[in-house]
Structure formats: C-alpha cells, structure tokens
C-alpha cells in the first residue's frame, strides 16, 4: 500500500510538472505525448532535437549505404549491422542527453515562474502587512493622543477647582476671607468638579453600546426657554453684557422625539459654547421646519457674534477632548467635551448636529434637528 501511495504521489508530481505541448504539430494531432521527453518540451515540431537527430541519422545511413554500394557494388550484412548498431547506440545516448537538457530547461523555467509568482505573492503580503502596521500605528497614536488629552483635561479640570477650594478654606482659616465668601468660592469649585465628572460620565455612557435611549414626546420650546433663563444668570453673561434672543417662528413649535434629560444637557452645552466664545454681542435662537423623505423635523439654529472657527479647527470640531486654537484664551476651563456630548446626544435621538456657517471675527451658526413627535412614546436601543 505504501509503495502504491508513493508511486501515486510521484505520478501526481510528474503530472503537475509536465505539460501537453500544443506548439508541437505531432503532439497536437496525436493529443498525447509520443516520447517521454515531450512532457518537458515546449519547442515547435520543426525545432525538435530528436526529430533532427532521426533525419540526420537517416541521411547519414542512406549516404553510407550509397558509398558502400558505389565502391563494393553490394551492401554487406556486417555493414548494415554496424551502421544500425551505431545509430541505435548513438541514438540512445543522444536521447538520454537531450531528455536531461530539455527537462532541466523546463524545470528551470518552471522554477522561475513559480519564483515570480511567489515573489509577487510575498510582495502583496508585505504591502498588506505594511498597510496594516501603518493603520495600527495610526490608531495607536490616536489612542495615545486621546489618553494624553484625557489626562491633561482631568488634571486641569479637577486640580484647578480643588486648588481654588483649598485656597478658600485656607483664607477662611486665617480670617482673611469671611466664611460666607469662602463657602461661596468653595461651592463654585464643587459645581465645576461636579460638572466635569458629569461630562466624563456622559461620555462613558455614550460609548457603552448597551445604553438605552428613552425617546419621548418633548416640549423642546420649554426646555430651551428654561435653559436660556438659567444662562442669563451666569456671571459671564453679566460681565460681557451678552443678550440671548429667542425668535418666535410663524408656526406653532411642535413637540419632538428625544431624551428629555440628555437633550437639556446638549442644549446647555451648545449655549455655553456660544456664550464662552462670544466676547460681545449676543446669541440668537431660531426655528425651522424641514422634511427628509417622509419624516418631518424641527430644526433649531443657534447663532452667535463670537470669534468664529478656523478651517483647521473645523476638521476636529466634534472630536473628544479637542479644543480650538483660540479657545484657551477665551475659555481656559473648557474640557473639550461639550460639542462631542451634544453631537452624540442629538444623533442618538435620531437627529443631526452640524456647523451651518462660521466667519472669523463675525460669529458662528450651529444647527440641530430632531424628529417631530407622533403621539406615542418610543424606546430605541442605541446602536
């Protein structure tokens, strides 16, 4: 059984290494290999070495017989035997030699072809692996940048209010600050820490795929009005003397589908963004109705008269922890999470947040859309 298997393997190997030479007239017409060497030959019929040997042998044999007959007037039997013996012996060695040459040439060519195929395959794999490594390095660099931004933000956002609170308590202790003033400062520090931690927790929840988004009919007009009233009490609004205007549309503002708690946070972040980066002037809020396919949406536009956003900063506007080139001077205490959170909240509510337009030194317009609500409540799992 083992011998048979070995023989079968050899036959399969020989079959893989052989070919049916369609260039050869004889092979093509016979549709099989007339000689053993033909399995390695790729020459045309008139270029066949063995055929040439046969023709030359025939010519030389006939010539020899003619010469002998010319001189002897007869052809001796021994001459015939000698000539045919020489032809057969020479033919045998010539056949063996040419077979080895043809086989070696064929295998060399086959090896070169296989090597070329292997080389091309290896080149493709190397290119693929190089591309994968580059992508992994790019992703790793992005993760490292996010980690560094996170640590920097946490360090600044938590250490700064802690330092303020420590100083307030120290000044209260040495009587250089009244208890009422000190507690007020400490209270501001705690609020800032609480807000920062809340932002981080919101980001964590958004990136948890199992988070449920509760979409209910919501009076968006009331949420915006209540948020505006809260913002009007901000110290920054009073210092800059900013005005917030809510322009009443010609239509009745419909209820929308969204998560009430989260959309309030998103609107608050958008208004904070406008307030922090508007040195003077004010903020305007307008409403529009739009349709996308069969669905109707309420569009809310928030315009400011702030510094505007550069083209370079627009590319990373909604990236986590990103802060623009001019934001540090205008609002040094920002976490870089406001727009990121607002975008995710609105998109999870099946809406869209985008930058409508911006002009350096003249202001910016953000808009968000929310689907106009039917008269029932829906719960959709975030994807």
pLDDT in tens, 150-178: 666 666 566 666 777 888 788 888 888 78
Assess whether pLDDT exceeds 70 at residue 255: yes
Assess whether pLDDT exceeds 80 at residue 203: no
Same domain, 94 and 236: no
pLDDT in tens, 112-156: 778 888 888 888 888 888 888 888 888 787 667 666 666 666 665
How much is the average pLDDT of 70-95? 74
Query: Is the distance from CB of 198 to CB of 337 less than 8 angstroms?
Result: no
Same domain, 247 and 343: yes
Q: Which of 105, 125, 145 is the last residue of a domain?
A: 125
Does any domain span residue 218? yes
Same domain, 229 and 328: yes
Same domain, 119 and 245: no
Query: How far is it, in rounded angstroms, from Cα 256 to Cα 223?
Result: 11
Query: Is the distance from CB of 182 to CB of 169 less than 8 angstroms?
Result: yes
Question: What CATH number is attached to the domain comprising 257?
Answer: 3.30.565.10
Does any domain span residue 151? no
Same domain, 116 and 226: no
Same domain, 217 and 353: yes
Same domain, 109 and 227: no
Does any domain span residue 21? yes
Does any domain span residue 245? yes
Same domain, 115 and 221: no
Same domain, 104 and 223: no
75's CB contacts (< 8 A; 6+ apart) are 65, 68, 69
For a pLDDT cut of 90, what percent of the chain falls above it? Answer: 18
Does any domain span residue 48? yes
Helix axis angle for 260-276 and 220-231, nearest 10°, is 40
Query: How far is it, in rounded angstroms, from Cα 273 to Cα 79?
Result: 115
Query: How far is it, in rounded angstroms, from Cα 357 to Cα 317?
Result: 13
Does any domain span residue 140? no
Alpha helical stretches, state H, 310-376: 311-314, 327-330, 338-348
Query: How far is it, in rounded angstroms, from Cα 178 to Cα 180?
Result: 5
How much is the average pLDDT of 55-80? 76
Same domain, 223 and 338: yes
Average pLDDT, the chain: 76
Its pTM stands at: 0.52
Alpha helical stretches, state H, the chain: 2-17, 25-30, 49-72, 77-173, 179-206, 220-231, 235-240, 260-276, 311-314, 327-330, 338-348
Question: Domain count of the chain?
Answer: 2
pLDDT in tens, 322-372: 666 555 555 555 566 778 888 888 988 889 999 999 988 889 999 999 999
Same domain, 371 and 228: yes
User: How many other C-beta atoms lie within 10 A of the C-beta of residue 274?
Assistant: 25
User: How many other C-beta atoms lie within 10 A of the C-beta of residue 165?
Assistant: 19
Does any domain span residue 10? no
Q: Which of 125, 159, 179 is the last residue of a domain?
A: 125
Which residues form the domain of 219? 213-381
Does any domain span residue 338? yes
Same domain, 116 and 220: no
Q: What is the pLDDT of residue 39?
A: 64
Q: Which of 75, 101, 125 is the last residue of a domain?
A: 125
């Amino acid at each position: 059984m083992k011998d048979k298997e070995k023989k079968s393997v050899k036959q399969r190997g020989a079959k893989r290494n052989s070919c049916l030479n369609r260039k050869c007239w004889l092979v093509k017409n016979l549709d099989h290999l007339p000689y053993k060497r033909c399995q390695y030959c790729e020459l045309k019929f008139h270029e066949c070495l063995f055929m040439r040997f046969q023709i030359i042998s025939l010519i030389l044999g006939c010539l020899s017989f003619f010469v002998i007959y010319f001189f002897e007037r007869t052809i001796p039997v021994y001459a015939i035997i000698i000539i045919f013996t020489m032809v057969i012996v020479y033919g045998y060695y010539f056949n063996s030699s040419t077979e080895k040459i043809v086989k070696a040439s064929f295998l060399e060519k086959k090896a070169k072809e296989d090597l070329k195929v292997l080389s091309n395959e290896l080149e493709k794999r190397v290119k693929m692996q190089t591309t994968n490594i580059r992508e992994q390095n790019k992703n790793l660099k992005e993760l490292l940048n996010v980690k560094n931004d996170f640590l920097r933000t946490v360090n600044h956002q938590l250490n700064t209010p802690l330092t303020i609170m420590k100083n307030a308590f120290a000044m209260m202790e040495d009587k250089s600050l009244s208890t009422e003033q000190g507690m007020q400062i400490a209270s501001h520090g705690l609020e800032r820490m609480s807000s920062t931690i809340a932002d981080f927790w919101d980001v964590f929840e958004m990136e948890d795929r199992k988070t449920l988004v509760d979409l209910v009919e919501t009076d968006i007009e009331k949420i915006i009005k209540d948020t505006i009233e809260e913002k009007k009490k901000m110290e920054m609004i009073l210092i800059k003397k900013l005005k917030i205007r809510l322009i009443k549309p010609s239509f009745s503002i419909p209820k929308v589908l969204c998560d009430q708690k989260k959309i309030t946070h998103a609107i608050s972040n958008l208004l904070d963004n406008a307030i922090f980066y508007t040195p003077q002037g004010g903020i305007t809020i307008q409403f529009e109705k739009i349709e996308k396919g069969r669905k109707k949406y309420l569009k809310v536009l928030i315009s400011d008269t702030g510094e505007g956003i550069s083209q370079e900063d627009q590319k990373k506007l909604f990236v986590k922890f990103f802060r623009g080139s001019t934001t540090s001077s205008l609002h040094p205490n920002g976490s870089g999470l406001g727009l990121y959170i607002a975008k995710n909240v609105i998109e999870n509510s099946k809406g869209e947040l985008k930058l409508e337009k911006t002009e350096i030194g003249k202001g910016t317009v953000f808009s968000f859309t929310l689907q106009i609500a039917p008269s029932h409540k829906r719960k959709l799992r975030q994807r």
